[in-house]
Structure 1
């Protein structure tokens, strides 16, 4: 019987060894044969991460390896946002409201803030004792051979079994402020995470507003390109009419048709730009479904007023309320608390411990009566630990914490400097956009007069087709410049509000 038990144990160990060896060799089989050959999943690798693909893919005629990734329809499922009304035409404030509800960036920032808040709770939990309950049970069977007596092999068996129940308490009573410093660092980190959560919403408002105004300008460009195409077609019609009367040359006709082709090309490009701007707007909102947008009204939106506050006052306001500055400041405070926590490792700690235990056991020897016993006990300990020597570990930890604190202070100064630069650039961009719009408006008036005069002159036989087509192109350029300057002024005003930190809701749009 004992021989059979020994063989069973040996066989089990051998099977386990072979299984582990198989797992190790399979790890090598799950990669490609070499660095220049594609990886193809095998049948035994089908999991929730990879789809089953053919083991052998047909190689192209030129022999180039195929690095195609196995397709999986589960990865192609797009999340459909809720609350989108296909019949509604969304204005800018409504798009911002939709983005704040549907964009995954806001939810990710919210989860990060929640994680930081939970970290505070975990540090504060170390102020309370830890109580654990354990139940231990065991069984042991031992066979002991005896010396041979009269040529006969004898042995006796002993059996022991028992259980124990333990309720233990561990409590760190005093640590000279280390947990307090760790809690302060966690709270500052939570403040930074919550500030960045609000900052994420501010950034989302800016991104949606910017994409909305760019889309509105793209719609205007497409409309101007269509008008320019109609003007070019009108010039071509006039040239062909004069050609039929023998008053225009073939060169003038060719030039007129060329102008129409060029105007058609610009219309096609403007149409493509409008589609791209619409898709960028959907991406800024964070939705994958088509949304009807009232971006035409952006062209009718009044121009923002120039910045009235002084530069110094604007900078002071921005540094006091910008989310990135506030988060960097909180991170600096957290790093300073980390230095205090590291320095507390040099100080002793006072702790308490206690337990309540009970157990039962049974001892049985073959041929003798069994012995059973019960036991219980309680204990309470109070101790002090004093660190004496650790090969410089605590010194290195303090220096690392001090280095992190200095780095956080430098980062705070860098964020402040970057904020000042952004504010100055945003004010300059707004001023330039407003001045450009005034100049472009005057240019549109002059270009329109020039085109009307050139076209009328050609129709009356006193002008040239070159002058008419050039005037049409110049008028299109002027109108596009005016639309670009109008959109740039709106975007610059939003950018300045975002740089100052006052773009806090859809009602705060300038």
Structure 2
């Protein structure tokens, strides 16, 4: 009963919503303004054709529910029939020598007709239940489209953050390579360093410059991907606020089965799958009701404004109201098996919808378990990567100081510089993976991105 009431409330709310306004122009990107994740998601929702399509489908489903509700009310129609008729009619020759006479009629019949289906063994109820269920499914699909858009933009945002961070790490690596190169050059001028060490240091500096170029290209691609997924024109100058310094997501607060249970009750695809089962069951009830009779009433009120004459004689006129009322009983006894086939089709669709729900439930459990484990691993990796970066920084500083004082070799310095550059890049990747994993777990459980409430249409 709770699900049925929720479906009816959803259908009523959507049916009463105003028609959508004409599409607004795309939001302009303000030069110099930095956009954070929430602002980017808001912009994407204004531009996304997927969410707009889902919204229009929800509106269409609500309109279909309105059509189903109209079947409970009587139908009123005003009709008017007017014209002239000339009819030869047979007559006995002893009365009319030529054996026929001509009847002329001229009439205007304005009519008010009312039709009302009184009883149909639940056929209209089933149609309305199906329409309400389909409205609910469309409404949930809008929520699902929103959540997928949130995840896509979140993923792109953190991927851009990782690329930007790795670009920063590459620039730091270039600066480190310059410092190391200067140290080698200084020792070379003092005759302490060899030409081989100088050449290797120059190579390390060149590699660092190449790493910056490659990291810049990756950052440009990540920026272009984010712009495209938001729906902005390619090449838009979009300044994105970085996620550097943002606290890592909190670890999962409970066991994985808790998140699985949450997904079973909150995921839009599972809720929609249950709604499709309810719609299919309503179709079965409608097909069953087709085997039973219907009872309806028809009433007419009319005014006869007419004239009649025979064989060119004088006209006789009538200007009188009239009326009629009928009770109609209809029961289809044979239709070539159409009703039975319709019932079999509805039953098969209900069974298919049930199987689809079970499959979606199994997939959801797998996705939640994977997202749960991925988030745990990503958080642990981010913590470990930060520690590796810290220790690599200390080790490189120590190796540089030792090399400057003649207490260390260039191999030691080059190795620590490479380790530091790798650690900084891994740190950026690990942080981005942690945020993306948190967004993936939110999507898998049917929530918006962490800290962002889901929207309603």
* Same fold per superposition (TM over 0.5): yes
Secondary structure in structure 2 of the residue aligned to 1:381? strand
Q: CA RMSD in A?
A: 3.4
Task: Provide the residue aligned with 1:109 in structure 2.
Answer: 54
- CA deviations 1:233-292 (Å, max 9, x no partner) are 333334444455555555444433332232222212211222222233334444445443
Q: C-alpha distance in 2, partners of 1:370/1:357?
A: 26
Q: 1:408 aligned to 313, 329, 353, which one?
A: 353
Task: State whether structure 2 residue 26 is matched by structure 1 residue 81.
Answer: yes
Q: 1:231 aligned to 171, 176, 182, which one?
A: 176
Q: C-alpha distance in 1, partners of 2:449/2:170?
A: 37
- Contact conserved, 1:217 with 1:299, CA < 8 A, in 2? no
Secondary structure in structure 1 of the residue aligned to 2:323? strand
Q: C-alpha distance in 2, partners of 1:215/1:231?
A: 24
Q: C-alpha distance in 2, partners of 1:462/1:87?
A: 49
How much does 1:448 deviate? 2.2
Task: Provide the residue aligned with 2:287 in structure 1.
Answer: 342
Secondary structure in structure 1 of the residue aligned to 2:150? helix
In the TM superposition, what are the counterparts of 1:204-219 in structure 2 within 5 Å?
204-219=149-164
Task: State whether structure 2 residue 438 is matched by structure 1 residue 479.
Answer: no
- Contact conserved, 1:351 with 1:382, CA < 8 A, in 2? yes
Q: C-alpha distance in 1, partners of 2:300/2:31?
A: 66
In the TM superposition, what are the counterparts of 1:66-215 in structure 2 within 5 Å?
80-82=25-27, 85-135=30-80, 164-215=109-160
- Contact conserved, 1:103 with 1:287, CA < 8 A, in 2? no
How much does 1:400 deviate? 0.5
Task: Provide the residue aligned with 1:293 in structure 2.
Answer: 240
Structure 2 CA distance for partners of 1:368 and 1:235, relative to 1, 3 Å? same
Of 252-261 and 176-185, the range deviating more from structure 2 = 252-261
Of 441-450 and 264-273, the range deviating more from structure 2 = 441-450
Q: C-alpha distance in 2, partners of 1:373/1:465?
A: 123
Structure 2 CA distance for partners of 1:265 and 1:359, relative to 1, 3 Å? farther
Structure 2 CA distance for partners of 1:82 and 1:440, relative to 1, 3 Å? closer
Structure-1-length-normalised TM-score: 0.71
Task: Provide the residue aligned with 2:7 in structure 1.
Answer: none
Structure 2 CA distance for partners of 1:370 and 1:291, relative to 1, 3 Å? farther
Q: 2:253 aligned to 290, 308, 327, which one?
A: 308
How much does 1:504 deviate? 7.5
Q: Which runs of 5+ in 1 are unaligned?
A: 1-77, 142-157
Structure-2-length-normalised TM-score: 0.79
Q: Which runs of 5+ in 2 are unaligned?
A: 1-22, 87-102
Secondary structure in structure 2 of the residue aligned to 1:167? strand
Task: Provide the residue aligned with 1:220 in structure 2.
Answer: 165
- CA deviations 1:43-95 (Å, max 9, x no partner) are xxxxxxxxxxxxxxxxxxxxxxxxxxxxxxxxxxx974247554543333333
Structure 2 CA distance for partners of 1:451 and 1:331, relative to 1, 3 Å? same
Q: C-alpha distance in 2, partners of 1:363/1:231?
A: 112
In the TM superposition, what are the counterparts of 1:288-437 in structure 2 within 5 Å?
288=233, 290-295=237-242, 298-358=243-303, 377-437=322-382
Q: C-alpha distance in 2, partners of 1:310/1:199?
A: 25
Structure 2 CA distance for partners of 1:463 and 1:163, relative to 1, 3 Å? farther
Of 201-210 and 111-120, the range deviating more from structure 2 = 201-210
Q: C-alpha distance in 1, partners of 2:41/2:393?
A: 37
Q: C-alpha distance in 2, partners of 1:458/1:370?
A: 133
Task: Provide the residue aligned with 1:494 in structure 2.
Answer: 439
Structure 2 CA distance for partners of 1:381 and 1:160, relative to 1, 3 Å? closer
Secondary structure in structure 2 of the residue aligned to 1:390? coil
Secondary structure in structure 2 of the residue aligned to 1:350? strand
Secondary structure in structure 1 of the residue aligned to 2:214? helix
Higher relative contact order (CA 8 A, sep 6+): 2
How much does 1:126 deviate? 0.9
Q: C-alpha distance in 2, partners of 1:496/1:111?
A: 28
- CA deviations 1:95-117 (Å, max 9, x no partner) are 34444455443333222222211
Q: C-alpha distance in 2, partners of 1:247/1:137?
A: 119
- Contact conserved, 1:96 with 1:506, CA < 8 A, in 2? no
Q: C-alpha distance in 1, partners of 2:283/2:191?
A: 91
How much does 1:324 deviate? 1.9
